[in-house]
Amino acid sequence: MLARLVADNQGLALVPTGRVPAVPGVTALPLHTPDVVHRTELLVPRARADSFAPLVRALAGGTLLR
C-alpha cells in the first residue's frame, strides 16, 4: 500500500535496500547522507480512526518505545 501511495505522488518513503516492491512509478535510489532520523506514520481509514486512538496516544507519548 505504501508503494502505491508513493507511485501516486502522495508521499515519499525511505525503506531498507532490497525492500522496494516492484511497483510502476516507484524508483529505488541509494541514500548515503545525511543521516536519517527515524519517523513512523500510521495510516488508518477515517471510518476506523477512533479504534486506533489508544495506539496513537501510546506512540505519541513514547510509551511503546520504553
> Which residues in the chain belong to E strands, given as ranges?
none
Answer whether residue 66 is part of any domain.
no
Answer whether residue 41 is part of any domain.
yes
Give the confidence band of 62 by pLDDT, cuts at 50, 70, 90. Answer: low
**Average pLDDT score over residue span 23-47:** 75
Answer whether residue 36 is part of any domain.
yes
- pTM for this structure? 0.39
- The range of the structural domain enclosing residue 47 comes to 2-61
Residue 50: HSE in the Cβ half-sphere, 13 Å Cα cutoff:
1
Q: In the prediction, which pLDDT does 18 show?
A: 76
Residue 17: pLDDT over 80: no
Answer whether residue 11 is part of any domain.
yes
Answer whether residue 15 is part of any domain.
yes
Q: In the prediction, which pLDDT does 61 show?
A: 76
Answer whether residue 18 is part of any domain.
yes
CA–CA dist 36, 46 (Å, integer):
29
- Report the number of distinct structural domains present in the chain: 1
